[in-house]
Amino acid sequence: MKNNSKKIAEISEENRPLVLLEFKSVKLTEEIFNQYVKSIESLWETDESYYLIMDIRELRIPKFKYLRMQAAWIKLREKELLTYCRGVSLVINRPLLWLTFRIVIFLQEPPFPYKVFRSLRKAIEYGENQLGLDSVQNASGKL
């Protein structure tokens, strides 16, 4: 019996247009990967742009097949990503995660600007700056 409650990431839109995507230490399967991309696609339903903070510090290193699937999805959804995603800040704390990310962008360069950080706080501050927000305007202290 499949456990449909497992998710690889949780999305918080409380501070939209700043959106937080926090990855969990879950073993990736095709079903879980598909749930993940559908959650990203759901961000487009409001027809509003966003800046994404991807906290992947807890992510398990995925198999290469999922890296290829991520790259293929980026290519498939390039138009939507160009329309809605104003940029991405990645929070990475391990060299192997950094290498994993580099493999995906080698396979398919993202159509949006991105920057890598070790600290969630710095990633949020950078995202706020990219959106022209200041810390007082939003609840980034909560993120």
- pTM for the model stands at 0.85
Judge whether 75 lies within some domain.
yes
Q: How far apart are CA 85 and CA 53, in angstroms?
A: 11
Q: Please state, in angstroms and as integers, the Cα–Cα distance from residue 86 to each residue in 17, 61, 80, 114, 131, following that order.
A: 9, 26, 11, 9, 8
Residue 82 maps to a domain:
yes
Question: Is the pLDDT reported for residue 134 higher than 80?
Answer: no
Residue 107 included in any domain: yes
1, part of any domain: no
CATH of the domain at 28: 3.30.750.24
Residue 4 lies in a domain: no
- Is 23 a domain residue? yes
Structural domain containing residue 89: 9-131
Question: What's the domain count of the chain?
Answer: 1
The answer as to whether 99 is a domain residue is yes
Over residues 2-18, the pLDDT tens digits come to: 444 688 999 999 999 99
pLDDT digits (tens, 9 = 90+) for 31-64: 999 999 999 999 999 999 999 999 999 999 999 9
- Nearest-angstrom CA–CA distance, 87 and 82: 9
pLDDT in tens, 53-111: 999 999 999 999 999 999 999 999 999 999 999 999 999 999 999 999 999 999 999 99
